[in-house]
Amino acid sequence: MTDFVFNSRYCSMLLAALFFGASLGLASPSFAQSVGLPAPRLLTTTPMGAKVGSQVEVTISGEHIEDADELTFSDRRITATRKLNATGQPEPNKYVVTVAADCPVGIHEARVMTRLGISSSRAFSVGTLDEAVQTKANTTLATAMELKVNSICNATMTQRAVDHYVFEATKGQRVIVDCATRGIDSKLDAVVIIADAVGRDLLVERRGGVLDFTVPTDGKYVIKVHELTFKGGQPYYYRLAVSELPVGAPIVRLPSTKPVNSFSWPPQGLKEQAELAETEPNNDRTRAQKISLPCDIGGSFFPAADVDVFEFEAKKGDVWWVEVASERFGLPTDPSILVQHVARAGDTEKLTDVAEFSDIPSPVKVSSNGYAYDGPPYNAGTADILGKLEIKEDGLHRLQISDLFGGTRNDPKNVYRLVIRKAAPDFAVVAWAMHMELRNGDRNAVSKPLALRGGATMALEVVAIRRDGFDGDIDLAMEGLPEGVTASGLKIPAGQSRGLMLVTANQNAPRAVGSGTLFGRAIIDGAAVNRPCRLASFAWPIPDSWGEIPSPRLMADVPVSVSGLEFAPITVSPPKEVQTVIAGEKLTIPLLHTRRSEFSGAVLQLRAMGSGFDRTPQFDVSLTADQSQAVLDTAALKVAPGDYLIAFYGGAVAKYRHQPEAVTAAEENHKKVMQELMAIEAEVKKLTEAAKAAATEAKPEADKAVEAATAKQKAAAAAVTAAADRLKAATAAAAPRDIVDIVVSEPIAIRVNPAEKK
């Protein structure tokens, strides 16, 4: 049996390897290519937060941020300046961050502006506790770091180790230990343990919860923190808070970012607090809680296997909409609702199922996180509930709500909000950077910031959750773009859930950053409504989807930038004017290629995106030609007359050169320091000869001059070596390398006119 398992696994791996090889072969002749053109990514800030009304020194790290200048935050009440060294020069990657006293407590986005544009975001926490920073290894009891109660420590987990902290507390004190990890973009699945003074474990929390510790005796206590599987390194950082709380007071968790699916909550106009609270015991029919519709109830899936039963009267033909939020609060719940009609005859009841509600499915296929890309790794769906309740008979109805994950769990924090309302048609939208299959297993390109190269078009996938039967068109728009950047929404057509937003920087767009705003717009019941669209992204690039399951989140804002220094490898431009075609006929669209790079491979395979034309068969355009054409067959596509906005996209392997201008600068610098060295060498030679010839009384002075010149010579030689190294590094970085990325054409407006009736 063991052998069989082993062999079958071996076979699977072999097949996977073969498949991998075959896929690579199809995608590109090169095995060495990487995925996604360099994008600036801010990966860590140390510390990861600051106390409100304080100033703190922050060190950053990331990808392609070597030349970062400004550090910015989503809330303007957090500001940063470069840290200067003793000579007044900015220290690389160091900033002085000031958090204003009126800055809201919570998570804010931190980003840096780089040569390539605005970086991806890193969560930056603002809190009220005193901040501490782990400054040296604390992986043993003996080296445990002292932590004061009511403070928070910013730390990075060491691989294969357990971090130790020690705090002092008195008997009866209630100490809360909370550890922020995934909620502040860390990869850490934290295990937090409170132990006695000699390190013997007393309380353990491994599921991201808090430790609520009542101190048994006066003394020192140890907190141990480690990653569930003892991983460590820079991405595994955390903020460990130790605070005192009065007995009975509710625990307030450290702030956390929001999951992607929370974009669809709350419905428009919903009050902050529910109007009604569930009243236990309401666990069975004999103790059902009486309600009337519409209603808005707050409840809790507590205790274990809790069922909350409500009863209401309804009339045949009534239509209600039922919505529940719980998982969207970031809770590990799976609400389920059953509505039954109750017909009573004496003591007996006849129950008839009217409706059963469970998940809100994702409107688009979600990635299975397999090796091949099969959908966006963002789940806009949720385990929460949104459904239509049609009353089929007059009379008493019973609704019961339970948590399908709550059979054995006893946690009153697993709350829900149940809303039953008359139809209020609406929608909520969320967007993320569009991805496509570029290379198996590599999801690197999905965590791109909106940092545009000149001449590039970036596509955002926009997905809608429709509420209460709304099925009209949803137009997409974007505002607040920097100069030279335009946005074109490829609408979410009626009855569908997916649209696209194309953000294009023209070739001459100047280097800039703007705070963009995304919208979905629709006409509902004759009125125009405008709904903000949240942007989702990943905390980390994912080059190996087998080794890491992505954990995307919603962003607080939508900054858009243009590099001004780097350009898209190719721009595919259709004519600016509207292309017209008669329904049933073919439309030929000329495409202009602006190439700024060499490419690996001769053709670019293009597909169409945009309602009406997205089933256009894939077609090839030459990567060596300056122009090509697309032929769209409106008959085959059965396109109805009307106005359309589309674009073409495909994957191309560019021979990318990173910062070639740095090579020139490095060469010039190298040349300059070489000249300086030569000059000083000549000087040394001259002074040495002079010293040899100097009279006895002048000798000490001459020797001193030689010594000083020799020191200068050494420094100049070191400068030459450093300049040579920089030149070498710049040359290596600028050497062409194959990088596959998505190419999106500029948008094309098409008008399909009706065919003339014969």
Partner 1 sequence: MVQNGVELWRPSTLIVDSSGSEMFFSINDARLRIPSRSRFFAVFVALLIISVPQPDYAAERPVSFVNEVMPVLTKAGCNVGVCHAKAGNGQNGFQLSLLGFEPLEDFEHLVKEGRGRRLFAGAPERSVLLLKASGQVPHGGGVRLEPSSEGFALLREWIRQGTPYDRDGDPKLVSFEVEPARGTVKRGAEQQLTARAKYSDGSVRDVTGKALYESNDKAMAEVSERGLVKISDIVGNAAVMVRYQGKVSVYSASVPLGAPVENLPSSKSFVDEQVFANLKALGIPPSAVCDDATFLRRVTLDIGGRLPTEEEAAAFLASKDEAKRDKVIDELLRSPDYADFFANKWTALLKNRRDDASDTVSNFAFHAWVRDSFLANKPYDQFVRELLAATGTVIGNPPVAWYKRVKEPKQQIEDVAQLFLGVRMQCAQCHHHPFERWSQDDYYSLTAFFSQVGRKPSGTRGEDLIFHKRGIAVAENMKTGVPLKPGALGDAIPEIAADEDPRLKLADWMGSKNNPFFAKSLVNRYWKHFFVRGLIEPEDDIRDTNPPTNPALLEALEKHFIASGFDLKELVRVITQSRAYQLSEEPNEHNVVDRQNYSRYYPRRLQAEVLLDAIDRLAGTQTDFANLPPGTRAVALPDNSYNRSSQFLRVFGRPEAESVCECERVQSSSLAQSLHLLNAPELKAKLATPTGRAERLAKEDKPAEAKVRELYLAAFSREPRPQELKTAIDYLNEPGTAANANYQDLIWALINTKEFLFNH
Nearer to partner 1, 400 or 659 (CB): 400
* Binding residue (CB under 8 A) for partner 1 from 109, 278, 323, 334: 334
Q: Environment class of residue 151 by beta-carbon count within 10 Å: exposed (0-12), middle (13-18) or buried (19+)?
A: middle
Site string (644-663) toward partner 1, x via CB under 8 A: --------------------
Cβ neighbour number for residue 719 with a 10 Å cutoff = 17
CB contact burial 700-714 (16+ within 10 A = b; e otherwise): eebeebbeebbebbe
* Binding residue (CB under 8 A) for partner 1 from 91, 130, 146, 201: 201
Shortest Å distance, C-beta 352 to partner 1: 13
**Is 441 strand, coil or helix?**
coil
Query: What DSSP line would sit under 598-639, residue for residue?
Result: EEESSEEEEEEESTTTTTPPPEEEESSSSEEEEEEEHHHHTP
d(CA 125, CA 44): 12
* Binding residue (CB under 8 A) for partner 1 from 76, 207, 350, 686: 207
Shortest Å distance, C-beta 590 to partner 1: 43
Shortest Å distance, C-beta 382 to partner 1: 12
Shortest Å distance, C-beta 540 to partner 1: 16
According to the binding rule CB under 8 A, does residue 307 interact with partner 1? yes
Amino acid at 702: A
Q: What phi and psi, each to the nearest 5 degrees, are found at residue 353?
A: -65, 130
Shortest Å distance, C-beta 205 to partner 1: 9
DSSP alpha helix (H) spans, 448-604: none
Query: Going by DSSP bridges, is the β-strand pair 190-195/219-227 parallel, antiparallel, or unpaired?
Result: antiparallel
According to the binding rule CB under 8 A, does residue 302 interact with partner 1? no
Query: Going by DSSP bridges, is the β-strand pair 201-205/237-244 parallel, antiparallel, or unpaired?
Result: unpaired
Nearer to partner 1, 229 or 273 (CB): 229
Shortest Å distance, C-beta 195 to partner 1: 8
Q: What angle do CA 687, 691, 696 make, to 5 degrees?
A: 155
* Binding residue (CB under 8 A) for partner 1 from 24, 133, 161, 583: 161
CB contact burial 264-288 (16+ within 10 A = b; e otherwise): bbebeebeeebeeebeeebbeeeeb
CB contact burial 316-344 (16+ within 10 A = b; e otherwise): eeeebbbbbbbbbbbbebbbbbbbbbbee
Nearer to partner 1, 333 or 504 (CB): 333
According to the binding rule CB under 8 A, does residue 5 interact with partner 1? yes
* Binding residue (CB under 8 A) for partner 1 from 14, 249, 251, 404: 404
Nearer to partner 1, 156 or 488 (CB): 156
* Binding residue (CB under 8 A) for partner 1 from 57, 168, 189, 557: 189
**Is 640 strand, coil or helix?**
coil
According to the binding rule CB under 8 A, does residue 408 interact with partner 1? yes
Nearer to partner 1, 63 or 196 (CB): 196
Say if CB 402 and CB 416 are below 8 A apart: no
d(CA 315, CA 396): 9
According to the binding rule CB under 8 A, does residue 191 interact with partner 1? yes
Nearer to partner 1, 194 or 720 (CB): 194
Shortest Å distance, C-beta 460 to partner 1: 22
Q: What angle do CA 499, 503, 504 make, to 5 degrees?
A: 140
Kindly state the number of chain residues that form the binding site for partner 1, as judged by CB under 8 A: 44
* Binding residue (CB under 8 A) for partner 1 from 177, 338, 458, 720: 338
According to the binding rule CB under 8 A, does residue 368 interact with partner 1? yes
According to the binding rule CB under 8 A, does residue 286 interact with partner 1? no
The alpha carbon torsion through 30, 36, 37, 42 (nearest 10 deg) reads -140
Shortest Å distance, C-beta 408 to partner 1: 5
Instruction: Name the one range near partner 1 by CB under 8 A: 99-107, 195-203, 475-483, 695-703.
Output: 195-203
Shortest Å distance, C-beta 184 to partner 1: 17
Tokens coding 156: 């990075």
According to the binding rule CB under 8 A, does residue 229 interact with partner 1? yes
Q: Which residue in the block uniquely carries the two structure tokens 């039967």?
A: 469
Tokens coding 249: 């007071």
Shortest Å distance, C-beta 714 to partner 1: 41
Shortest Å distance, C-beta 539 to partner 1: 15
Handedness of CA 106, 112, 113, 118 (dihedral sign): negative
According to the binding rule CB under 8 A, does residue 19 interact with partner 1? no
The separation between the first and the last C-alpha atoms of the chain, rounded to the nearest angstrom, is 74
Instruction: Report which of 474, 500, 471, 503 is spatially closest to residue 610, judged by C-alpha positions.
Output: 500
* Binding residue (CB under 8 A) for partner 1 from 216, 370, 469, 617: 370
According to the binding rule CB under 8 A, does residue 218 interact with partner 1? no
According to the binding rule CB under 8 A, does residue 287 interact with partner 1? no
Instruction: Name the one range near partner 1 by CB under 8 A: 97-105, 226-234, 514-522, 691-699.
Output: 226-234
Nearer to partner 1, 267 or 332 (CB): 332
Tokens coding 637: 């596509």
Q: What phi and psi, each to the nearest 5 degrees, are found at residue 94?
A: -120, 135
Shortest Å distance, C-beta 338 to partner 1: 6
* Binding residue (CB under 8 A) for partner 1 from 71, 162, 478, 581: 162
Say if CB 533 and CB 554 are below 8 A apart: no
According to the binding rule CB under 8 A, does residue 2 interact with partner 1? yes
According to the binding rule CB under 8 A, does residue 379 interact with partner 1? yes
Instruction: Name the one range near partner 1 by CB under 8 A: 52-60, 198-206, 562-570, 731-739.
Output: 198-206
Shortest Å distance, C-beta 406 to partner 1: 7
Indicate the helix (H) or strand (E) that contains 723.
helix 699-734
Say if CB 545 and CB 441 are below 8 A apart: yes
Return the residues of window 95-124 that contact partner 1 according to CB under 8 A. Answer: none
According to the binding rule CB under 8 A, does residue 311 interact with partner 1? no
Instruction: Name the one range near partner 1 by CB under 8 A: 164-172, 225-233, 341-349, 530-538.
Output: 225-233
Nearer to partner 1, 192 or 297 (CB): 192
According to the binding rule CB under 8 A, does residue 549 interact with partner 1? yes
Say if CB 725 and CB 682 are below 8 A apart: no
According to the binding rule CB under 8 A, does residue 332 interact with partner 1? yes
Shortest Å distance, C-beta 375 to partner 1: 11
Instruction: Name the one range near partner 1 by CB under 8 A: 223-231, 472-480, 634-642, 730-738.
Output: 223-231
According to the binding rule CB under 8 A, does residue 336 interact with partner 1? yes
* Binding residue (CB under 8 A) for partner 1 from 133, 305, 529, 717: 305
Instruction: Report which of 522, 548, 550, 553 is spatially closest to residue 535, judged by C-alpha positions.
Output: 553
Nearer to partner 1, 16 or 582 (CB): 16
d(CA 705, CA 694): 12
According to the binding rule CB under 8 A, does residue 402 interact with partner 1? yes
Instruction: Report which of 304, 277, 305, 441 is spatially closest to residue 369, judged by C-alpha positions.
Output: 441
Say if CB 543 and CB 444 are below 8 A apart: yes
Task: Give the interface with partner 1 as residue ranges (CB under 8 A).
Answer: 1-2, 5, 9, 139, 160-162, 189, 191, 200-201, 203-204, 206-207, 226, 228-231, 305, 307, 332, 334, 336, 338, 356, 366-370, 379, 400, 402, 404-409, 546, 549
